[in-house]
Amino acid sequence: MNITIRPYRSKGTDRQQINDVCCDAAFLGEPIDSIFQDREWFTDFMVAPYLLAEPEHTWVAQAGDQVVGYLTASTGMLFGPIRAQLALLAVGRLLCYYSIGKYDHHPRSQRFVRFVLTEALSQVPPHPPDAAHFHFNVARPWRRQGIGSRLIAEFERAVAASGLRRYYAEVMCWNEKPQDYFTRLGYRVHGSPVPTSVFSPEVPELRLLCIVRDLPDSA
């Protein structure tokens, strides 16, 4: 089936389908549900800030009437403050949910909430200044078909048009191979990898990397 890459549409089913792809791939390519069962909160935290602050910088991969991948990004200076405000509201809501026992039925969800409330902020790798950034996912049956590369190509054109010369993303690494993979693709690691306990004990020795790519002069 042919894959179409197109801009995100705020009206219609794009947002829900993006949320579904996000949650189905959030646990190192697997569904997040075994780690955290509140999909609505998870996507409000992970995806909604991009869609609300800079919807023009989101693209989807569509097969038939199904969104099978997405890339959502920021090239602007206002994203940081907007994301911080939305994150604060989301964390406050999460604390309320935890306090009233919403996650009492699922101990692993409780553990995830405690991570968000007490550890997550200290486990963020350093980011380069004056750089755009992106987040993307592709549904499992559609991976390794070049969809990610096509989405990133759309994003790179937007980065070049914005006047920025580099962009970054955060990726998870549990051995050296993923780091080598991104190096072969032309990315470099910014700063030092940061150990993270977000998926501990399921995945020990997990690290967060900030990978950076500089646009060529001809971009």
Chain centroid to CA 130: 19
Q: Roughly how many angstroms between the first and final C-alpha of the chain, as a whole number?
A: 31
Query: Is residue 170 helix, strand or coil?
Result: strand
Q: What domains are defined for the chain? A: 4-164 (3.40.630.30)
Question: pLDDT by residue for the chain (219 residues), tens digit each?
Answer: 799 999 999 999 999 999 999 999 999 999 999 999 999 999 999 999 999 999 999 999 999 999 999 999 999 878 888 889 999 999 999 999 999 999 999 999 999 999 999 999 999 999 999 999 999 999 999 999 999 999 999 999 999 999 999 999 999 988 766 667 788 888 999 999 999 999 999 998 899 999 999 998 754
**pTM (two decimals):** 0.93
136, 103, 131, 132: which is closest to 117 by C-alpha? 103
